[in-house]
Every structure is written in C-alpha cells, then in structure tokens.
Amino acid sequence: MILTEKRMSKSELQKILKSFFPNLEEASLDAFMKHASYLKSTKGTKLISEGKRHRYFYLILKGGVKSYYSKESREVCMWFAFKNEVVGTITTYEGLPSKETIELLEDSELIKFNIEKIKELTLTDLSISHLMNGIIIEHTLYLEERLYQLQFMTSKKRYKVLYESTPEIFQEVSLTDIASYLGVTRETLSRIRSK
Amino acid sequence: MILTEKRMSKSELQKILKSFFPNLEEASLDAFMKHASYLKSTKGTKLISEGKRHRYFYLILKGGVKSYYSKESREVCMWFAFKNEVVGTITTYEGLPSKETIELLEDSELIKFNIEKIKELTLTDLSISHLMNGIIIEHTLYLEERLYQLQFMTSKKRYKVLYESTPEIFQEVSLTDIASYLGVTRETLSRIRSK
DNA sequence: GAATTCATTTGACATTTATCACAAAGCCAT
DNA sequence: ATGGCTTTGTGATAAATGTCAAATGAATTC
C-alpha cells in the first residue's frame, strides 16, 4: 500500500540522486531528475509484479525488498536489496513483462524513476547510458556469482558464505525466504542452522 | 593452438561485422573494425583462461566453444556458443581476471576484437555503447533463465528443456559437459537419458 | 492475557542424487 | 585389426535432501 507519493523539493531530490550516482554529469542528472519522485510505502507492497509490464525502477532510501519468482504457490527468492541500492528487473528494462516480483520486506522509503524515459535518454545521453550500463553489469556479476555458488557449493557452504558475508540479512529476511534463496527447503535450512 | 591470425581484407571483415551488428552505424563500424581481426584455431584452444586478465572478445564464424568454471579438477560448464554468437566474459569486459575459461569445442574460425579498445570507444560513441549494452543484456537474460531453471526445475525437466530447445547440442558437446551444465553428475545424466 | 496466526523446528520416512567400482562402447594412432 | 585412451552406461551403496505431520515458539489481535 502506497502511503505517500509526493513531489520532493528539487534540491533534496538532487542531493539524493547525486549520492546514488556520483559520476553522473550535471546536465544528465537534471534530465534524470524529471522522471524521478519520492515514494513511501508499506511492507508487502509489490513494486513489480510477475507477468506484468512496469515502468519504474527504484532507489531504496530506507527499508528493503525481496525479488522472487513464484510458481504453483512456491516462491523462490532471487535477491534481496536494502538501503542505498538500485532495484528493478532486467525484463522491465527491456519493456517486457517482468518474470519476477519485487516486494517490500518492510515499510520503506524509495525514489522511483521511470525507466522507459531513462532508457530513452540513453539514446542521446552518454553519461546516462554508462550509468545504466554499470547498473546492469553489477547485476550480471551478481548473477554469475550466484550461479557459481549454486553449481559448486553444497547447501551448507552456501549458507556459510551468506552468513559470513551478510549476517544482517537474517535480521531482515524470514528463514523461509532465505531457504528458497539458498535453493533448499525451510526444513533443510533449519537443520543446517542447528549446527 | 592458433593456426592463423591473418589480416582479413577490409571489405570482408566489414561484411562480417555488419552481419553480426546490423544496427551499428557506419562510422562506429569503421572504428570498431580497427580492433578486430580474423583467427583460426584448433579444438581445445583456450580463448580465455580462468584467473587471467584478457583483452579480447570473439565472434564465432565457424565452430563452437564452451565456458566453464573449474575447481579441484572438476569442471562445470556455464554455457555453450556456436556459429554467429558473440563470446567473452563479463569479468574481462570489466578488466578483471576472468573467473571462467572459454575453450574451443572444435576447430573454429573466429573474429577477435580488443574489448579494452571497444570499451574505450563506448566512452564517446553512443552506437557502440548501445551495442555492448545489448550484448550484456542478452547475456543477463540468459543467466536469469538459467538460475530460474536450476532453482525451479528437477534435473529431468532441465534435461527435457535442453533437449527440446537445442537438440543439436548433443552432437557438439560431450555428455560429461552437458551433465555439469545441467548441474548433475555424468552418471545421473546417463540414467535420465536411459528413459 | 488468552486466542489466533505465522514462522520455525523436529521426527519419520521416501526420494533423489552422489560416489565408487567396473563394464561396455567408441575413437585414434600405430 | 590391436592396444590404449576416452566416453558412456550400469550396479550397489551411502549421503543429502524433500515431504508430510506435528510440536514448539514468537508475534499480533481482541
């Protein structure tokens, strides 16, 4: 449920965007800003729903989200994101119906930006083109690492890596979601943890 | 083993690049061409080796390659590519040591291009920037599909999907490699196939 | 604070898959 | 063709994980 979608003061928005995208040129930032706005929303809100076309990407100012695929009432989490991260789906970027759902894990504050418009800007604006490139590449490196872990590591090892790299995640995300993310059932995760 | 690395006639090279990159503008194509050359090489040659920095991406004119991670003498294939595909690793694109190895599955003919130089061109050339963007996005969509399959499908189903979508692959790639790609042992793949 | 709901843990059992050992088949070079 | 090499297939067993059912625990509502 969306609580507020307000027009933020120009300077405030600018400041936020600068902190997310420090390499973006001034003129590009102004152009970008025209398609961005502040949003506050409650836990459980779906920013992007599986099977639908969407127009927006988001910056997380406060709170967190999970991305998941669902099938026959089973949900498998693909990633989680928190404060200071950019979120969206590559299918949305491509103008396709999203395969994933992105849902708020808690009440959150966000900047949403119209990715359709931003993508149009990439046609003429090199700075924005590189920005988007960078975001996609970062995501790609992440996917490769995940694929590597799923194919090379045992579930115990994957749990260990997650626990050691981002222990905070266990405060924010349910064990059910973490289990699906690690590619095991809740029960198995529970047994792994009891050691 | 590299058999030939010759300077191909300009018009021939141009024709090939055009067929791979039909949307590339004429001037951009000329710039691109300066960093591309023809290469013929034998089965088993490693275009990119795990742990090393590399400068090149490749277009496959004839033949095929496999990409794999290796660890403790175990190899896990991540993807295969054949005629008319562009190959490289995202880590190479980022100037990092590659995590994967790319190896020729058979004697192949290739165009290699200096991705460092091409990446420099993206700083000033929008057309090339979009070209590289597109290549990366395509790869990203592929990775997401693969991750989805690994997390949602049984090994039988993954085999079925592979067999039905690209049956040719069984002519080109050993069952050992396909098994690792599907995330099972050779023995398990053999048992799946005997049904 | 009792009742309800949801998340997590535990146990018993079934299923899948890995592992190890070896046999069979295909391929290559002499 | 013969002997060596690699790839693939099969069998027996063990290990890991899923499934189902129930118990416990934690959080939320009335």
* pLDDT over 70 percentage in chain A: 96
CA B174 to chain centre: 17
User: Please, what CATH class does the domain formed by B2-121 belong to?
Assistant: mainly beta
Q: What is the pLDDT of residues A142-181, one digit of tens each?
A: 999 999 999 999 999 999 999 999 999 999 999 999 999 9
pLDDT at B8: 80
pLDDT at B116: 97
Q: What is the pLDDT of residues A85-122, one digit of tens each?
A: 999 999 999 999 999 999 999 999 999 999 999 999 99
For helices A115-122 and A126-152, the axis angle rounded to 10 degrees is 110
Nearest CA in chain B to A136: B137
Q: Which of B60, B69, B70 is nearest to B172 (CA)?
A: B60
**Looking at chain B, which runs of residues are DSSP E strands?**
2-4, 36-41, 46-48, 56-62, 64-71, 74-82, 86-87, 101-104, 108-114
Does the structure show a pLDDT above 80 at A61? Answer: yes
CB-based contact, B152 to chain A, within 8 Å = yes
pLDDT band with cut points at 50, 70 and 90 for residue A67: very high
Instruction: Report chain D positions within 7 A of protein CB atoms.
Output: 7-12, 16-21
Beta bridge pairs of residue A86: A59
The one-character DSSP state at A166 is: -
A141 neighbourhood in chain B, CB within 8 Å? 90-91, 94
The mean pLDDT of B49-63, rounded to a whole number, is 96
pLDDT band with cut points at 50, 70 and 90 for residue A71: confident
Q: What is the pLDDT of residues B165-177, one digit of tens each?
A: 999 999 999 999 9
The one-character DSSP state at A55 is: -
Distance, CA of B195 to CA of B191 (rounded, Å): 7
Q: Which of B20, B138, B151, B165 is nearest to A96 (CA)?
A: B138
Q: Is A182 exposed, middle or buried (0-12, 13-18, 19+ CB in 10 A)?
A: buried
pLDDT at B71: 85
Tokens standing for residue B47: 């275009």
Q: What is the pLDDT of residues B139-175, one digit of tens each?
A: 999 999 999 999 999 999 999 999 999 999 999 999 9
Does the structure show a pLDDT above 70 at B18? Answer: yes
Q: Are B132 and B119 in contact (CB under 8 A)?
A: yes
pLDDT at B73: 79
Q: Residue B7's CB: how many other CB atoms inside 10 A?
A: 8
Instruction: Report chain C positions within 7 A of protein CB atoms.
Output: 7-12, 16-21
pLDDT at A5: 66
pLDDT at B41: 92
pLDDT at B5: 67
Nearest CA in chain A to B74: A152
Q: Are A65 and A45 in contact (CB under 8 A)?
A: no
The mean pLDDT of B86-95, rounded to a whole number, is 97
pLDDT at B72: 79
Tokens standing for residue B115: 């991705």
Smallest CA–CA separation between B66 and chain A, in Å? 15
Architecture of domain A2-151: Sandwich (2.60)
With CB atoms and an 8 Å threshold, state whether B136 touches A133: yes
Q: Residue A157's CB: how many other CB atoms inside 10 A?
A: 12
Tokens standing for residue B131: 């070209």
Q: Are A109 and B112 in contact (CB under 8 A)?
A: no
pLDDT at A140: 98
Would you say the C-beta of B151 is within 7 Å of strand C? no
With CB atoms and an 8 Å threshold, state whether A150 touches B150: yes
With CB atoms and an 8 Å threshold, state whether B143 touches A148: no
For helices B175-182 and B186-193, the axis angle rounded to 10 degrees is 100
| Residue lying closest to nucleotide C17, CA to C1' | B188
With CB atoms and an 8 Å threshold, state whether B143 touches A141: no
Smallest CA–CA separation between A126 and chain B, in Å? 6
pLDDT at B9: 87
Does the structure show a pLDDT above 70 at A1? Answer: no
Q: Residue A123, SS3?
A: coil
Radius of gyration of chain B (CA): 18
Distance, CA of B148 to CA of A175 (rounded, Å): 20
